[in-house]
A and B are shown apart, each in its own frame.
Chain A
Amino acid sequence: MSNKEWPLWEVFIRSKQGLNHKHAGSLRAADEIMAIENARDVYTRRSEGVSIWVVESKNIFASNPDEADSLFEPADSKIYRHPTFYEVPDGIEHM
């Protein structure tokens, strides 16, 4: 990394208590404290968050979109994982 550029960070924001942190975008910052402060200014100017996570982008490992078909194939063939697979006799309630 050159001395002039700041590393890239991914920003995750919890919009309110009870919800997951969700990816909001990315930004550049010299360190994690500046990343959180910048994230506050860039992504929560209208009270969009109650909590912020920042992760340096280089630490994120992602699945390869070209292999998505084979990666997710095992789930496609197992329709018995869904309740609609099962027959429920007429007259049965609360199930």
Chain B
Amino acid sequence: MKEENIEELERQFQEKIDNDIKIEPRDWMPDNYRKTLIRQISQHAHSEVVGMLPEGNWITRAPNLRRKAVLLAKVQDEAGHGLYLYSATETLGADREDTIDDLHDGTAKYSSIFNYPTLTWADMGAIGWLVDGAAIMNQVPLCRCSYGPYARAMVRICKEESFHQRQGFEIMTTLANGTPEQKAMAQDALNRFWWPALMMFGPNDADSPHTAQSMKWKIKRHTNDELRQQFVDVTVPQAELIGLTVPDPDLKWNEETGHYDFGPINWDEFWAVVNGNGPCNKERIDARRKAKEDGEWVREAANAYAAKKRTKKAS
């Protein structure tokens, strides 16, 4: 295509975005818009899928049948979220298997929070409350994303997420109101998950070079720091209400700004985990690879069976 043509197409594309007209799969879009979306949506899909592992770890050891049924339903939802999102990447021309292989060979990233271990039952509470809570804060604005299939997937996901956070908070509340040992367990889970949850929003705005373009394309609606602040502001009073202490000595309500001030985030830890050196990175990827390899014969058999049925029908 000629250069001026692309410029004109890009101008029309941006005009649509500015007028809040959604972009659908077969519409013209700049290569970088497509690439950015494929990267973001597939990372998001991987996070949903890998995110099942730390919680799956506790399904068989849930303290009672109600908690077990709830956790099972939550983890099943996360599998669904992964599927909606892989489907959305396929509408952009990405190959689903290639996308998954990128995760398995370490090329693709996923949310660093899932590289932390789940040591006690209270971690199920902390994850639902903080991790799903942070995810919701990130995801609600994505329901208005400029790309139609992603926005529609996010609407479904957000509807389903709200019970995830509530079930987590219910676990935390129950433990916080329990024996001193149970309360200590809840506090310990909060201590371990608080900072990684804040890291989920990504680097500070100053270190997030793609934010401006993503906002111009309406893929992103708020900056990382805005969302992180919003999360702190709503979560701190929740912790106080159930008698738990947020592990940040610098945390203080700021009358002037109307927000909580909070201490510095350990970005060295964040980057170490993102780059593969968190406590469970290897374990998570190994588990995903094993699932794919172990399931291969099933997928092949299902295809062979479908082919056999088709030939039977035809004859």
Contact = CB atoms under 8 A, between A and B. Distances in A.
A90 B202 CA distance: 64
Interface residues of B, number: 28
B83 interface: yes
Contact of A27 (B77, B87, B153): B87
Contact of B80 (A4, A31, A45, A62): A45
Contacts of B152: 25
A64 B24 CA distance: 11
Contacts of A65: 24, 26-28
A26 B89 CA distance: 11
B66 interface: no
Interface in B26-71: 26-28
A46 B156 CA distance: 11
A8 B88 CA distance: 12
Interface in B54-105: 73, 76-77, 80, 83-84, 87, 90-91, 96-97
Interface string A16-56: 00000000011110110010000001100110000000000
Interface of B: 24, 26-28, 73, 76-77, 80, 83-84, 87, 90-91, 96-97, 152-153, 156, 160, 296, 299-300, 302-306, 309
A74 B35 CA distance: 36
22 contacts: A3-B303, A3-B304, A4-B296, A4-B299, A4-B300, A4-B303, A5-B96, A5-B97, A6-B299, A6-B302, A6-B303, A25-B156, A30-B299, A31-B305, A31-B309, A34-B302, A41-B76, A41-B80, A42-B83, A45-B76, A65-B26, A65-B28
Q: Which of B73, B77, B302, B303 has the most CB of A within 10 A?
A: B303
A78 to B, nearest CB: 24
Interface residues of A, number: 20
Main secondary structure of the interface of B (DSSP, over half): helix
Given A42-B80, A42-B83, A45-B77, A66 B299 contact: no
Contacts of B28: 65-66
